[in-house]
Amino acid sequence: MASKLDSLHPADVADILEALPLDQRLDVWELVKVERDGDILLEVSDAVRQTLIADMNSDELLAAAEQLDTDELADLAPDLPKDVLQDLLDNLDAQNRARLQSALSYSEDAVGAIMDFDIVTIREDITLEVALRYMRRLGSLPDHTDKLFVVDRNEILRGVLPLKLLVVSDLDAIVSDIMSDDAVTFHPEDIADEAAKAFERYDLVTAPVVDVNNKLVGRVTVDAVMDLIREEAESDMLSMAGLREEEDFFASVWKSVQNRWAWLAINLVTALVASRVIGLFEGSIEKIVALAALMPIVAGIGGNSGNQTTTMIVRGLALGQVASHNMQSLITKELGVALLNGLLWGGVLGVIATAKSAFTAVTCIKIIYYVKLRLHHGHND
């Protein structure tokens, strides 16, 4: 079992852990080698990560964290106990400590929170041959390296040199002649979601992150962006159902109720409002009780068509397609749709209700006729 776990990718081990109830999950977690703990903690969801960390002592946590890069540590840090985090910071060298502290200082939805520090830089005045020799001396490049960052001696970004240009260009060419100097760059304070859109739009694999002075401070990679897109989509889905956050599938009933109660409370308030409105018409309902039976239909159709419009507009706002210049025509259009829907479904409901009451009336007449007939028969008997 342990050796089988060792042969699996951290993401696959994470999946197994997610799908297990708490006690079995911790049993499996015990079997995972210490040096892989860090990578797996990065892959599991926040909720599951907390259950795993709660089961580890400080030494185990420190050992796991030591296997990670600074940017990975930054992802893990918010879930670590304070004393472990302090020990970690003490163990880091000055550069990495500064990086970790700055990464932790950005808000969760800023580019600074998703950037990493695996940057390979070269100077602009060397030939490609020299650059290639430098690469070979490095011996390996970080994952996702699709471009080298060209900087001057003050780490100011001058341009980027894609690997695919490096390998096809003449070896005697100078870096500054080959590099592209209009690369898409980000600032650590930029909104991560905007950066993600730029990645999709311009089909990026990595992009440099620079400070206000254009000094290179890190990079964003497409895998971090993809994780972000997936997380955003999921949190949109969850919040549409009023779930506050990703829920550990095997969280206690009590924890689940805590995650879900706020939305239900809001709903209770709106439902109370609806109930007051209905209260205004108690007189009418008292006269025709069938009206009460028609209420859920009106509420359902109204709610759902409103929901459709909301979804459309929210999506348009997210994509930047709704702006002041087209507001007028959008409102006109949605009012038109609402009117048509109202006529259509009101009509359908009217036909159904009429048919039903006509049916009732016919039944009544039949019964009266039948009773009459019986009476008549009775007379004749």
Task: Find the binding residues for its own copies in span 49-108 (CB under 8 A).
Answer: none
Distances (CA, A) of 237 to 108, 183, 229: 19, 34, 12
Nearest residue to 301 (alpha-carbon basis) of 342, 347, 241, 267: 342
In degrees and rounded to multiples of 5, residue 217 shows phi and psi of -120, -15
In degrees and rounded to multiples of 5, residue 257 shows phi and psi of -60, -40
Show contacts with its own copies in window 31-50 (CB under 8 A).
Answer: none
- One character per residue 257-286, x = contact with its own copies (rule: CB under 8 A): x--xx-xx--xx-xxx-xxx-xx--x--xx
Q: Which amino acid is at 43?
A: E
| Cα–Cα distance, 164 to 57 (Å, whole number) | 46
Residue 39, token pair as written in the block: 């990578």
Choose, by CB under 8 A, the member of 153, 319, 378, 380 that binds its own copies.
319
Choose, by CB under 8 A, the member of 5, 8, 15, 187 that binds its own copies.
15
Q: Which residues pair with 164 in a beta bridge?
A: none
- One character per residue 105-144, x = contact with its own copies (rule: CB under 8 A): ---------------------------x--xx-xxxx-xx
| Cα–Cα distance, 161 to 234 (Å, whole number) | 35
Is residue 341 near its own copies by the rule CB under 8 A? Answer: yes
Task: Compare residues 107 and 311 and give the one whose CB is closer to its own copies.
Answer: 311
Please identify, among the stretches 11-19, 55-63, 79-87, 364-372, the one whose residues bind its own copies according to the rule CB under 8 A.
Answer: 11-19
Show contacts with its own copies in window 145-174 (CB under 8 A).
Answer: 145-146, 163-164, 166-170
Is residue 354 near its own copies by the rule CB under 8 A? Answer: no
Is residue 357 near its own copies by the rule CB under 8 A? Answer: no
| Cα–Cα distance, 109 to 194 (Å, whole number) | 10
| Min separation Cβ 193 and its own copies, Å | 12
Count how many Cα atoms sit within 13 Å of the Cα of residue 208 in the half-sphere of its side chain. Answer: 29
